[in-house]
Chain A
Amino acid sequence: MTGWGRAVARLLALQAAWNYERMQGIGMGWAAEPLLRDLRATDPARHPAATVRSAEFFNGHPYLAGLALGAAARAEYDGATAEQVQRLRTALGGPLGALGDQFFWAGLLPALSGCAILGVTLGWPGLAVGGLLVAWNALRLATTGWALRTGLREGLGVGRAIRESWLTGAAQRIGRFAGLAVGAAIPIGGAWLLGGLTGTTGLTALAVAAVGVLLARIRPAWFTGLRYGLLLIAAVALLTITGILIGGRQA
């Protein structure tokens, strides 16, 4: 089977046609095209149905989708039934999503972002931003390549390969470091933005932050930093406009 390099490149744009109907399905079908090209010659009767299956509903973590893509392509070449291929894709979506979210979004991203924030506050902005980009993309590309290779090698047995892989342990380890890095970055970043946290300015900002964290505990489904910020903007605008109106009347 050829097309590994092209499939990896296409996996970088997996979510370009993301939609509520098939989620990543179209991107998966697009990335599968180079992998299934040989099937057109070896099994022309199977190729159209395999192409249709490759673009059906799929939703997993974009960086780990190669595991499902490769495994499904291998299964097509191995002559698995349509039900087996569909079951494989359905079974992999949820676990790959959970694993990828835990490792990348809840682990590696906050860890690197926290380090980058600390780097900027220490006066190394180029190193901080460059390091963030290089570290993330090196790991991401390596993971995408590994995922596709593993999927292509294991086929229907990919589940076992995922369980025994480095991913589960790595997610836990990076999670702890992420906690440490983000924990340190929050007060240090705040102090850098406000010129310290001990004066009136810093203490007021900390009080605003404490109220926000409390709101997040009380209404976790509603609270986001963005919503809280928009609410504060509305409050400041109202106070400012009211103050101007009162001032105008007094004058």
Chain B
Amino acid sequence: MSEPSLAALAGVAAWATVAGVDLVSVPQGLLSRPLVVGALAGCILGDPGAGLQVGLALELYALDVMPVGAARYPDYGAATAGATVAAAGLDGPWAIGPALALALALAWLGGLSLEYLRQSNARAVHRRAAALATGEPREIRSLQWRGLARDVLRSGALGVAAVAAGVALARLWPMTGWGGAAASTLTIGLVGAALSGAASGAIRNAGRGLRLRWLGLGAALGLLWAVLR
């Protein structure tokens, strides 16, 4: 595939920023799901197939995540965008392997950035505790908007870094000389890990009741379909 234009890369970075803000702040409407991010990023880059492949694999990883309370969870939004850039730029049937490896590292970094954001917000609240105690709505408003601004900065920085990393991987991977063997091993291993993540999450959510039986039925039907197709 030809090199993506700067405008396309900027578009993917902007989309990754929107996804990052959606995950943490607003509107929290699943725009940050890997399947959604990958589909649109692939369309922007002119390679929807790459976006769907990366998005679907990372969606399986994301099914393992329960974003509850104060839990720290990975940010798959920017990670999917960066991996789509890499997968679209790499040739060959195993391009998804190195792209997924990049995505997992980025998702982990994204999780760290969430931690940093929460701590920054806590420090801001702590600093303005006395002003908050006056009951002036302006103080609450200010903290809310600053929190949102911090998240936009976080998501923007992560989006740009992810896209840059995707471009770098697409250019550098052929130079490593690792070729198809490493890429195919990564693909098989990381798709296997994605399946295990999704399965573990599903088993955990199902508990021991009726839902576990429905999960088993679904898995049996799915396996049958996958084998017969």
Chain A residues whose C-beta falls within 8 Å of the C-beta of B15 in the assembled complex: none
Which residue of B is nearest A208, CB measured? B192
CB pair A178–B105 under 8 Å, yes or no, is no
Query: Could you tell me if B66 and A101 are in contact, using CB atoms closer than 8 angstroms?
Result: yes
User: Which stretch in A66-74, A155-163, A193-201 binds the other chain?
Assistant: A193-201
User: A196–B186 contact, CB under 8 A?
Assistant: no
Tell yes or no: B222 within 8 A of A by CB: yes
Of residues A17, A51, A185, A193, which shows the largest number of chain B Cβ atoms within 10 Å of its Cβ? Answer: A17
Query: Is A6 among interface residues, defined by CB-CB distance under 8 A?
Result: no
Interface on chain B toward A: helix, strand, loop, or mixed SS?
A: helix
A136 with B30, Cβ < 8 A, contacts A29-B140, A228-B197, A233-B190 known: yes
A81-140 at interface with B (beta carbon < 8 Å) = 97, 101, 105-106, 109-110, 113-114, 116-117, 120-121, 125, 128-129, 132-133, 136-137, 140
Which of A114, A205, A211 touches B188 (beta carbons < 8 Å)? A205
The listed residue (A33, A185, A226) touching B61 by CB distance below 8 A is A226
CB-contacts of A178-213 with B (<8 A): 178-194, 196-198, 201, 204-213
The yes or no answer to B157 lying at the interface (CB within 8 A) is no
Is there contact, CB below 8 Å, between A225 and B198? yes
Contact A12 B194 (CB under 8 A): no
Do residues B68 and A105 form an inter-chain contact, with CB atoms below 8 A?
Answer: yes
B52 engages A225 (CB within 8 Å):
no
Report whether B200 and A62 are in contact in the complex, using a CB–CB cutoff of 8 Å. Answer: no
Q: Is the CB of A113 within 8 A of B24?
A: no
Q: How far is the CA of A192 from the CA of B147 in the complex (A)?
A: 40
Number of B residues, CB within 8 Å of A: 103
On whether the beta carbons of A187 and B74 are closer than 8 Å, the reply is: no
Closest residue on chain A to residue B93 by CB atoms: A195
A51 touches B193 (CB 8 A): no
Residue of A nearest to B149 (CB): A16
> A89 to B123, alpha carbons, bound, how many Å?
23
Q: Does B122 belong to the interface (CB within 8 Å)?
A: yes
Residues in B whose Cβ lies below 8 Å from that of A177 = 214
Q: Are A101 and B68 in contact (CB under 8 A)?
A: yes
A186 and B225 within 8 A (CB)? no
A: contact size bracket: 35 or more
Contacting pair B196 A209 (CB below 8 A): yes
Whether A132 lies near B182 (C-beta < 8 A) is no
Please state if A205 and B143 are interface contacts (CB–CB under 8 Å).
Answer: no
Against B, the Cβ 8 Å flags (1 = close, 0 = not) of A26-69 are 11011001001000000000011111101100010010000000
User: Across the interface, which residues of A come within 8 angstroms of B175, CB to CB?
Assistant: none
* CB of B221 within 8 Å of the partner chain: yes
Chain B stretch 23-48: residues in CB contact (< 8 A) with chain A: 24-31, 33, 35-36, 39, 48
In the complex, the answer to whether B122 meets A21 with C-beta atoms within 8 Å is: yes
CB distance from A84 to the nearest CB of B (A): 18
Contact with B along A168-179 (1 / 0, CB 8 A): 000000011111
> Which chain A positions have C-beta within 8 A of B178?
240, 244
Among A19, A133, A180, A185, max chain B CB count under 10 A is at: A19
Inter-chain contact A59/B69, CB cutoff 8 Å = yes
Q: Which of B103-141 contact A (CB under 8 A)?
A: 104-105, 107-108, 118-119, 121-122, 124-126, 132-137, 140-141
Q: With A and B bound together, what is the CA distance between A207 and B193 in angstroms?
A: 10
The reply to whether B35 and A210 form a contact with Cβ atoms under 8 Å apart is no
Would A236 and B206 count as touching, CB distance under 8 A? no
CB-CB under 8 A from B206, the residues of chain A are: 175, 179
Knowing A20-B118, A198-B227, A233-B101 touch, does A183 contact B197 (C-beta < 8 A)?
Answer: no
With A117-B56, A129-B35, A226-B61 as contacts: A194 and B25 at CB distance below 8 Å: no
Contact call A182/B28, Cβ cutoff below 8 A: no
Contact B192 A212 (CB under 8 A): yes
Q: Name 13 interchain pairs, CB-CB below 8 A, sorted by A.
A: A29-B140, A114-B218, A133-B29, A179-B218, A193-B57, A197-B226, A197-B227, A210-B196, A212-B200, A225-B201, A226-B107, A230-B104, A235-B189
**3 nearest A-B residue pairs (beta carbon):** A225-B197, A183-B218, A212-B196
Not counting A105-B66, A183-B215, a sample of 13 additional A-B residue pairs whose C-beta atoms are within 8 angstroms of each other reads A52-B133, A183-B221, A186-B198, A189-B195, A190-B60, A191-B229, A193-B56, A196-B229, A210-B196, A220-B204, A225-B196, A229-B197, A240-B181
